[in-house]
Copies of this chain bind each other. A is one copy, B any other.
Amino acid sequence: MGHNSFGSAFTITTFGESHGEGLGVIIDGVESGFKLDTQAIQAEMARRRPGGNPLGTERDEKDQLVILSGMYEGLTTGTPLAMVLYNTNQRPYDYSNLKDVFRPGHADWSFYKKFGVRDIRGGGRSSGRETSARVAAGAVAKQILAQHGIRIFAGTVQVGSVVATKRNWDECDNALTCPDKEASLAMASLIEEVRLDQDSIGGIIECRITGLPPGLGEPVFGKLQALLSHAVMSIGAIKGIQFGDGFSCATMRGSAFNDQRTSEGFLSNHSGGILGGISSGQEVILQAAVRPTASIGKSQKTVDKENVTKDLVIEGRHDPCICPRAVVVVEAMVAITLLDLWYTAYGRQR
């Protein structure tokens, strides 16, 4: 299977470049007869789109999805669901200054080394815009999972050194989807400060899955944490992932880390809801490290195709912190992974 596909029982295949004709996703394996809420999908798209977030880039893209196939009279038909996002309102950016240089922190260098050619317009296939196709697919997966009581929600829990200490998931209707209202204000201030400084800043996104029954995940290479890691780590900006106590486990003893159980239930959740790669029935908790946005206004050293050193200043409006917009992408990849495992276990036909 090509590496632009993900999943085996519920498979998404994405395509498209940032500034080409359009991008989108083909979803293969959707159950038939499901009443799809297309407005809810569009609402998810809005969470990711540029201009949809006060802390993000000022570029405004509508991200209007068009469904080409797989539905009839409001119901899924069981055939591939094709969803496309046309790059209609692309302004004629002048990319000529980027034509022969490799932007630091971007995929420019490695794409050129791998493919020999590269689409210089806005990063082409390596642009973050590629994730919009994942959000569309994730929105479908979420709806189907919801009917089984499974809910996925993520939020920003760290930006720079501002750390959210609370987990009030009902109060995260802020630009960062941060479950700690006070921390979210400090995060927003920090992001504005960084923006004015022509720089960017990293952060951490936390994602939780509730309502997941025990028994999802497939030994030994389809362990729940392995597939979720594949899914989340395939998002360009993510540099690390951890489950439950994660890297903290390095300093813990087994007697503290093991989740003991009594007839009342588990006494703790250090493992993050996964035992032996299979969901335990507890809440699944994971965190992803988000690197600072690669595009910054400061001057940087780079080289051109002839390997001559250049000083590069990247123009344009960029997200000083990608967390606000990446939250929904993490949710999407988690949802896609879970529905894949669900269909693997229970099938999609009745």
Contacts and interface: CB of A to CB of B under 8 A. Distances in A.
Contacts of A218: 3
Q: Which 8 A-B pairs have the closest CB atoms?
A: A107-B276, A2-B28, A3-B222, A240-B242, A347-B347, A200-B254, A105-B258, A3-B218
Contacts of A26: 4, 13, 15, 26
A302 interface: yes
A179 interface: no
Interface string A331-350: 00000000000011111111
A326 to B, nearest CB: 12
A335 B158 CA distance: 33
A186 interface: no
A3 B32 contact: no
A294 B271 CA distance: 11
A143 interface: no
A189 interface: no
Given A106-B275, A257-B105, A116 B33 contact: yes
A173 B57 CA distance: 51
Contacts of A16: 68-69, 80, 82
Contact of A4 (B221, B258, B293): B221
Contacts of A211: none
B125 A220 contact: yes
Interface string A1-32: 11111111111011111001111101011001
A225 interface: yes
Given A1-B8, A275-B109, A246 B251 contact: no
Contact of A260 (B29, B72, B300): B300
A30 B22 CA distance: 18
Residue among A9, A82, A254, A271 with the most chain B CB within 10 A? Answer: A254
Interface string A158-176: 1111000000000000000
A202 interface: yes
A82 B308 CA distance: 36
Contacts of A255: 199-200, 296, 298, 300
Contact of A229 (B20, B229, B347): B229
B33 A115 contact: yes
B215 A261 contact: no
Interface in A198-224: 199-204, 214-223
Interface string A260-293: 1111000100011011111111000000011111
B5 A204 contact: no
A296 B116 contact: no
A279 B68 contact: no
A276 B126 contact: yes
